[in-house]
Structures are given as structure tokens and as C-alpha cells.
């Protein structure tokens, strides 16, 4: 039997098929460019080559259908039929305040997800479409939702509330939710395993640095604080997002330039961050580091701003945790950019964080330690694997449902 993970976004549906009882995927892929020219399926069997198939005009429903056709293909497929899929684990960005662990999707859970669409208008509607498509094409399978916000449900009130009247939390749900939880939870678990320690008693700062960036303070395997807030805009500088900015500056710019809320939202989420600051017409850290090395002062400043915010957040979370056992780097930048890791940790020797330059620069893959032998705090690079985390949590939800 198998577990299928589905991540339905605005223009793509990503999938991975796992055996029900093992962590090694049997196949994975994506239907991309949905709603655009050139919609196509890219699929790969474990150990095989990627195969590309055009699927012109496919919407999310058709995307799920072609994924299932590919998985069950008589020559290239990996299952005899959809009957083998016993559960589907859906990545859902926002679970609101009520869905704080993986849930088997019944009518009540889906109605709640509909009701919180205003909290995640760019994500949850696509996830709901993915769920509906899977219910239609794999009706016998148990549909499970795994939330990006759920890991941060353990934030204490003093960490998740904003300093505005409490009624805006009670009536409007305005609070810090935090995101990237599936990734932070996965790497925190893998870090404990790598260090050979139980999560209990372990104080970690996990840095997810990809297109979006967030830092989480983890104690005893639970999220204690995290840098993203009501939306993924808060906190670190990111590829195209501003991260922290005084809300009064936002109001000032709106008044001065007559920006609408939608225009301001677009500016802060899509036209700010490294893209706006580095001046290289790209938000890819590889391009920005190359420009900085070639003498661009502007790119250099953007890199320093990016690293400085990570550094000061690590310091803040060391205080929140009352000490630190390990700093963990993950995602596209965290896993692949030694210069960013080095600069983010510069001058943190007073916290007991010392890098080993050679280990840090080494292009090794897989979970690894990059700290100096004399470092009190471990520095780990742990490749994230959100699909595996979703599959594991789906497996767990399935087991709980079947328990008498």
C-alpha cells in the first residue's frame, strides 16, 4: 500500500508517493505551469530518469488525474492502480487556531478550512482544490491535511500575541501563527537524531532559508517562538519580501503615494527584500553573491542585511530558549550557501558558536555538522524533506484513525 503527498499551489501540483511503511519515495514529480502556456507533468520513479509529458490546459483536477495515470502506468508506473493508495497527505499552509495537528479531512474540517481562507487567500483555496480533486479521483483513500502553522501552535501567548487590543485576536484571529512548520519540525527531529539526543531538553534554533525565510526557537521538540507572524511577511529579509518593517512606515507610504492595500501588499511581498535591495534584477542568492564578489556595493549591502537579521534573530532566540545546543540550517540557501552560514554566525563566538571553515565550505550532501571541535553549540546543515514529514504525519493520522 502507498501514501501519496500532494502540495497544490497556485500554478503547480507537486506529488510524492511513499510506501505506507517506509520513508524512501517510489516516485515524485510536479504538474507545473497550470493556468499558463506549456502545462506539463514531470515525473520520476525512484532511481529513474525524469519524464516530461505535456498536459495542455490542465487544471488542478486534471493535474491530479494525470499524476494518478502516471503512477499507475502499465510500463512506467509504480503501482498497479489507485486502489493501492490508502491515504493522501495534503500540505495545507494555514490551519488557523483550531487545526493544530494533522487531521483526517471530514466535512467539518473542510468547512473550517473554507472559513479561514481570508487568513491565507493565496494558499488555502488551491489546497482545497487539490483536496476536492483527490476525493474525486481516489474516493476510497483517507484524506489528511498537514499544516504549516501547526508546529507553532505551541507558542505561548506572550510570544504569539501582538501589542494591540486583545479583541482583535479574539474576534479577528490577528496573532502570530508562524509558517514553514513542516520543515522546522522535520529538521528539529532530524537534528535530535543526528546529535543522538532525545528532543527533551534540547534547545535548537532552526533556520529555514529558502525563497521564504524563517527562524524558529525549538525546546523539547516544540516551537517556542518563530520569526514569521500573522502572515509569512514578518521577520527576516527574504527573496522578495521585506520582513520586519515599522507598520507606521507602511501607513506613511500608503498616505504619501496613495498606494491601495493591494498595491502595498504587492510591494512588500513581491517587490521588496533581496530583489529590491541587491539591484541585480534577481532574488537568487547565487546571483547576488556573485555580484557582491564582483564588486557591487549594493549587492554586498543586501547580503549583509540578510545575514545580520538572521544573526540577531539567533541571538534573540538564544535568550528566549535560555541557552543553545544547536543551530540548524536548511532549505535552498541554508543548505547550499556556506558564505551565508558563515556571515550569519559571524561574531557569535560569545554564545559558544564556532564554525569549522573547511567543513562549512565542503560541498557534502546530507545531514552534517559544520562546527569547530571547540564549539559549545553544534552547527548542523540538515536538508529539509517536507514531503517525508507529511507522509510520516499522514501515516500517524491513519494509524490513530484505525485504532479502536
* Residues at the site binding ligand AMP, with contacts judged by CB under 6 A: 210-211, 239, 284-286, 331-333, 336-337
Which of 98/286 has CB closer to ligand AMP?
286
Q: Which of 104, 118, 151, 111 is nearest to 397 (CA)?
A: 104
Q: How far is the CB of 108 from ligand AMP (least distance, A)?
A: 33
Which of 223/384 has CB closer to ligand AMP?
384
Q: How far is the CB of 213 from ligand AMP (least distance, A)?
A: 9
Q: Is the CB of residue 78 less than 8 Å from the CB of residue 87?
A: no
The burial class, CB within 10 Å (0-12 / 13-18 / 19+), for 282 is middle
Q: How far is the CB of 367 from ligand AMP (least distance, A)?
A: 16
* Residue listed under C-alpha cell 498537514: 146
Which of 331/370 has CB closer to ligand AMP?
331
Indicate if 148 belongs to the active site. yes
Which of 59, 106, 148, 244 is flagged as catalytic?
Answer: 148
Which of 221/383 has CB closer to ligand AMP?
383
Which of 210/229 has CB closer to ligand AMP?
210
Q: Which residues of 160-184 are buried (b: 16+ CB within 10 A; e: fewer)?
A: beeeeeeeebeeeebbbbbbbbbbb
CA atoms within 13 A on the CB side of 357: 2
Q: How far is the CB of 390 from ligand AMP (least distance, A)?
A: 16
Which H/E stretch holds residue 309? helix 297-321
Which of 20/336 has CB closer to ligand AMP?
336
Q: How far is the CB of 344 from ligand AMP (least distance, A)?
A: 13
Q: How far is the CB of 289 from ligand AMP (least distance, A)?
A: 6
Which H/E stretch holds residue 300? helix 297-321
CA distance 220 to 223: 8
Cα–Cα separations (whole angstroms), residue 123 to 12, 95, 114, 350, 366: 12, 11, 11, 41, 30
- In 211-265, which ranges are E strands? 213-219, 222-226
Q: What's the start-to-end Cα distance of the chain, in Å?
A: 21
CA distance 69 to 81: 9
Q: Which residues are catalytic?
A: 148
Amino acid at each position: 500500500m502507498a501514501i501519496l503527498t500532494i502540495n497544490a499551489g497556485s500554478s503547480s501540483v507537486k506529488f510524492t508517493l511513499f510506501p505506507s511503511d517506509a520513508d524512501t519515495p517510489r516516485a515524485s514529480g510536479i504538474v507545473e505551469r497550470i493556468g499558463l502556456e506549456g502545462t506539463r507533468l514531470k515525473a520520476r520513479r525512484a532511481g529513474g530518469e525524469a519524464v516530461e509529458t505535456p498536459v495542455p490546459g490542465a487544471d488542478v483536477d486534471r493535474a491530479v488525474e494525470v499524476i494518478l495515470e502516471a503512477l499507475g502506468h502499465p510500463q512506467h508506473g509504480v503501482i498497479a492502480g489507485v486502489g493501492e493508495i490508502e491515504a493522501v497527505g495534503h500540505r495545507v499552509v494555514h490551519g488557523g487556531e483550531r487545526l493544530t495537528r494533522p487531521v483526517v479531512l471530514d466535512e467539518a474540517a473542510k468547512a473550517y478550512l473554507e472559513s479561514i481562507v481570508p487568513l491565507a487567500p493565496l494558499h488555502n483555496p488551491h489546497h482545497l482544490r487539490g483536496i476536492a480533486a483527490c476525493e474525486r479521483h481516489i474516493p476510497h483513500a483517507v484524506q489528511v491535511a498537514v499544516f504549516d502553522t501547526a508546529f507553532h501552535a505551541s507558542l505561548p501567548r506572550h510570544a504569539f500575541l501582538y501589542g494591540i487590543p486583545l479583541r482583535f485576536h479574539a474576534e479577528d484571529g490577528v496573532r502570530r501563527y508562524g509558517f514553514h512548520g513542516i520543515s522546522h519540525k522535520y529538521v528539529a527531529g532530524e537534528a535530535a537524531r543526528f546529535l543522538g539526543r532525545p528532543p527533551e531538553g534540547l534547545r535548537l534554533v532552526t533556520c529555514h532559508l529558502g525563497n521564504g525565510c524563517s527562524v524558529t526557537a525549538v525546546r523539547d521538540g516544540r516551537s517556542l517562538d518563530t520569526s514569521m507572524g500573522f502572515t509569512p511577511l514578518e521577520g527576516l529579509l527574504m527573496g522578495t519580501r521585506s520582513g520586519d518593517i515599522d507598520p507606521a512606515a507602511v501607513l506613511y507610504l500608503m498616505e504619501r503615494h496613495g498606494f491601495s492595500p493591494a498595491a502595498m501588499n504587492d510591494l512588500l511581498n513581491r517587490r521588496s527584500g533581496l530583489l529590491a535591495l541587491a539591484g541585480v534584477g534577481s532574488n537568487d542568492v547565487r546571483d547576488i553573491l556573485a555580484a557582491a564578489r564582483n564588486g557591487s556595493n549594493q549587492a554586498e549591502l543586501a547580503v549583509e542585511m540578510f545575514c545580520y537579521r538572521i544573526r540577531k534573530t539567533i541571538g534573540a532566540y538564544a535568550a528566549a530558549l535560555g541557552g543553545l545546543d544547536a543551530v540548524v540550517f536548511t532549505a535552498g540557501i541554508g543548505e547550499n550557501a556556506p558564505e551565508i552560514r558563515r556571515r550569519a554566525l559571524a561574531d557569535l563566538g560569545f554564545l559558544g558558536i564556532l564554525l569549522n571553515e573547511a567543513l562549512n565550505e565542503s560541498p557534502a550532501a546530507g545531514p552534517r555538522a559544520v562546527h569547530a571541535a571547540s564549539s559549545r553549540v553544534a552547527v548542523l546543515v540538515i536538508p529539509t524533506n517536507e514531503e517525508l514529514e507529511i507522509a510520516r504525519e499522514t501515516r500517524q493520522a491513519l494509524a490513530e484513525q484505525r485504532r479502536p
